[in-house]
Chain A
Amino acid sequence: DIQMTQSPSSLSASVGDRVTITCRASQSVTNYLNWYQQKPGKAPNLLIYAASTLQSGVPSRFSGSGSGTDFTLTISSLQPEDFATYYCQQSYSTPYIFGQGTKLEIK
């Protein structure tokens, strides 16, 4: 199985900050890497697929990059509604493993 490791596990930031979350795969997933946002009590919401393609309706302050084993999710200017937990997920092969999540909190 391909394991996914996110860092950091938690992060405190302020509105307007630029934030970067990292995801590392245990072996190459080429660009089969997706990012989700989840708010408490809600289902996940797809932000980025294919490592860098913005899902329709997602604000352009979100961006993704990387290929192979190392990926990043960047939020260019944090908004109040962005405080949530973020997960990466590899879709290169089953089982579709998620990272452990990064909880983004207000500083």
Chain B
Amino acid sequence: EVQLVESGGGLVQPGRSLRLSCTASGFSFGDYAMNWFRQAPGKGLEWVGFIRSQAYGGTTEYAASVKGRFTVSRDDSKSFAYLQMNSLKTEDTAVYYCSRDRGEYDAFDIWGQGTVVTVSS
């Protein structure tokens, strides 16, 4: 079965760090770009950032709201993607999803179940 599973969410104080993990199964992970999204309580979807496959250099791009604070990485040998979140703010509180880019047209066809991050003192 093709699936993604996120982990690592929790309650964290403002200014602290947290690392989310996304484990993939059922497909050739290294062939795909991987994205992170988030959804604040009662709000819409926001793209956070992505990492390209190694075939395309493994480069990353980020939303302006997280650039310089968040880092996406990947370990193809373990089929993992990561989202390192530093200098967290209360406005980073959200459900975080990882998702696979199907490749053509950059549509996101496989999603994890989400992990909740709450930033609060």
Contact = CB atoms under 8 A, between A and B. Distances in A.
Contacts, number: 62
Contact of A101 (B44, B64, B112): B44
B interface, size bucket = 20 to 34
Interface of B: 35, 44-47, 61, 63-64, 97, 99, 102, 104-109, 111-114
Given A43-B114, A91-B106, A95-B63, 19 more contacts: A31-B105, A32-B106, A34-B105, A34-B108, A43-B111, A44-B45, A44-B108, A44-B111, A45-B111, A49-B102, A49-B104, A49-B109, A50-B105, A55-B109, A89-B107, A94-B61, A96-B35, A99-B44, A100-B44
Interface of A: 31-32, 34, 36, 38, 42-46, 49-50, 53, 55, 87, 89, 91, 94-101
